[in-house]
Amino acid sequence: MELFVRIKITAISALFGFLFGFDTGVMTSALPFLTTQFSLSNFMEGLVVSVVPLAAVAGTVWGLKTADTMGRIKVLLISAILFALGALGSAAAPEASVLLAARLLLGFAIGASTLVAPIYLAEIAPAKYRGAVVGTFQLMITIGILFAFVSGLAFSPGQDWRAMFAIGVIPAGLCIVGVLLVPETPRWLLMQGQIKDARRVLENITPKDELAEIDEAMAGSEAEKEKETGVEGWQVFKLAGVRFALLFVIATFVLAPLTGINAVLTYAPAIFSNAGFSGSNAQFLATIGLGVINVAVTVVMMSLVDRFGRRPLFITGFAGAASSCVLVAASYAIGEPLQTYGALVGLLAMIVFFGVGIGPMAYIYASELFPLSVRAKGYGIASMVFWMTNFILLLVFPVVLAAAGGVGSFIMFTGFCLIGLLFAVKYAPEPKGTVLERVDDEIERVFKGK
């Protein structure tokens, strides 16, 4: 019974990853037609795309303020409703200003839900499977991206960008219904002093052969409170281990988009056109190839993360992404006949290494490393930095690609990947298999260099 409950809870909460991925992917397909329909300049193209991460900053601020007071479930419910409204508004937009307003709504919902959904998954998952459970959020992001690519290909012959946006109402509706069927997280209930309710939820989701984890979670929660005695609210971030966790997660969330992954996925047709793929169908098919690889490697990651740990995958991700960016830049520099297929291989490899390491580890680390009392706050601060980084990158990338070309763009991404590699080797902790309430012991070990 507990297995069915865990699957249901994981599937419903991870659907918010699908919505995030769908919105990322749908712009890849719709943007060429939007540019024609509304006569968008390079800057306006970037604005239509980047307004989502800009609004996500506001959604994150709201989410970190309400996730601890309203609860994880209520925040997710409101986010799902906003997703549906944003999808409908985008589909019906008569002009660019209305489209921007609808995408602001979507961005707000994405900011709040990408903050709360991974926290929900981490707080409700048994320690033994927590990496894979939180990894389902990243998996659903990739499935959402792929779904948007495929539906975009289906609607592109008629240039029906409105249908591309409208189809997003379906998963949003599933999220609205789904969150009404799942419980609040036991950790949030503990934070509210609802100990009996927390234990009941834990008993429903914990495998019978691991019931000792319930007592360990309860005891760990009390230990966290004792460690934070005399320190309240935001003051908890003055504790050395918590401050280290915050800086680590912020750096992770900055470096992940600076690898270029979101720019690649969002502007893939333009990149492939620049690389020598002629015809919109060839560009869309190559883009779908990226989406398929993205899903496949995320499935592989889920089978590895609780076996080998977070740290090895994180380091491997940056090393591989740097090598992939070098290959893409070299392909552009050499030109044909290497350019077209060398760039394709490099981009596919980039997707592989991001999907197996950098992307999912960012969400997993952010959902694991903070104490319960400031988990939403810490994740929220890092998320705001993440969305601002995304906003700037997506806003300027069309201009950078036009000015610097593929060589300059991917040399820049290579540099950021190498910085990420050095950072991961020196600072990445390993919380594999540890109940959330004991993860701070690993943070202290890394912080003190032991």
Give the pLDDT confidence of 348-393 residue by residue, as tens digits: 888 889 988 888 888 888 888 888 777 888 888 888 898 888 888 8
Cα–Cα distance measured from residue 430 to residue 440, given in angstroms and rounded to the nearest whole number? 11
The answer on pLDDT for 449 being more than 80 is no
For the chain, the average pLDDT equals 80
The pTM assigned to this predicted structure is 0.74
pLDDT of residue 446: 56
**Among the ranges given (6-10, 148-152, 295-299, 361-365), the one the predictor scored with the smallest mean pLDDT:** 6-10
Q: How many residues in the chain?
A: 450
Share of the chain above pLDDT 90, in %: 22
The answer on pLDDT for 81 being more than 90 is yes
Give the list of residues 6+ apart from residue 317 with CB closer than 8 angstroms, or none: 353, 354, 356, 357, 358, 359, 361, 424
pLDDT of residue 112: 93
pLDDT of residue 105: 94
Q: What is the CATH number of domain 2-447?
A: 1.20.1250.20
The answer on pLDDT for 199 being more than 60 is yes
Cα–Cα distance measured from residue 124 to residue 202, given in angstroms and rounded to the nearest whole number? 8
C-alpha closest to that of 379 among 65, 106, 97: 65
The answer on pLDDT for 436 being more than 80 is no
266 residue type, one letter: T
Cα–Cα distance measured from residue 242 to residue 234, given in angstroms and rounded to the nearest whole number? 11
Name the one residue in this structure whose structure tokens are 């319930």: 214
Tell me the two tokens of residue 159: 């240039």
Q: Break the chain into its structural domains and give their ranges.
A: 2-447
Q: What is the mean pLDDT of residues 319-332?
A: 90
Tell me the two tokens of residue 60: 């994150």
> Regarding predicted confidence, which is higher, 109 or 440?
109
C-alpha closest to that of 142 among 14, 33, 53: 14
Name the one residue in this structure whose structure tokens are 């960012």: 362
199 residue type, one letter: R
Name the one residue in this structure whose structure tokens are 């019978």: 208
Range with the largest mean pLDDT of 34-43, 127-136, 227-236, 338-347? 34-43
Cα–Cα distance measured from residue 265 to residue 274, given in angstroms and rounded to the nearest whole number? 14
C-alpha closest to that of 256 among 118, 360, 412: 360
Name the one residue in this structure whose structure tokens are 């047709």: 269
In this structure, the number of other CB atoms found within 10 A of the CB of residue 450 comes to: 6
Read off the pLDDT of residues 223-261 as tens digits, 9 standing for 90 and up.
455 454 445 566 777 777 788 888 999 999 999 988 888
The answer on pLDDT for 1 being more than 50 is no
Give the list of residues 6+ apart from residue 105 with CB closer than 8 angstroms, or none: 55, 82, 85, 86, 89
Q: What is the mean pLDDT of residues 252-280?
A: 72
The answer on pLDDT for 163 being more than 70 is yes
What is 140-170 written as a DSSP string? HHHHHHHHHHHHHHHHGGGT-HHHHHHTTHH
